[in-house]
Amino acid sequence: DEVIKEECAKIGWDWRLVSAIIFQESKFETWKVSWAGAFGIFQFMPATAASYGIGPHSSANDQIRAGIRKLNKNFNQWIEFVPDSMNCMKFTLATYNAGRGHIEDGQRLAEKNKLDPDVWDDNVAEMVKRLSNPKYYRDRVVRHGYCRGIETYEYVTEIMQRYEEYLNAFPDNVEEE
């Protein structure tokens, strides 16, 4: 908990949001390995993990530091294009789950379908959900093809719901004893 709080304070993120992400990724199980080969507390894919200097046997603290750096990098890339911080966070989460290319495909589909490409809820999220349907992933504006978009949609939704629960369970204004 202290490492999460410490690292989040460095970048101005709410530790409860990062805790919700970690819970979604691994339920805080550092030994977890997915069917796709993602590992650890943040479920890094091996190539991405290597680029952040961690591996399957890295400490939980090192994995937390790397995961927060990765999330912050994604956020800083999106904030240039999606200035609303809450939307930007949702794009960041979606990118962490599916990769930026699929989220940009969702933006292009949103624009094509007269939806706002810079708003996640009811706009890009709806298009990302459809990226498992050939009608959508074969559209000429889609560059990265098939995506299990419903998983990405649910990933973002569940993290944001858990974050709200954590905000209520761990309010900032509680005095420490």
Tell me whether residue 25 is one of the annotated catalytic residues.
yes
Q: How many of the other CB atoms lie within 10 Å of CB of 165?
A: 12
Q: Could you give phi then psi for residue 88, rounded to 5 degrees?
A: -60, -40
Element spanning 18, H or E? helix 15-26
- Cβ(56)–Cβ(42) below 8 Å: no
Among residues 95, 76, 97, the alpha carbon closest in space to that of 85 is found at: 76
- Cβ(166)–Cβ(20) below 8 Å: yes
Question: Among the options 6, 25, 165, 175, which is catalytic?
Answer: 25
- Active site residues per annotation: 25
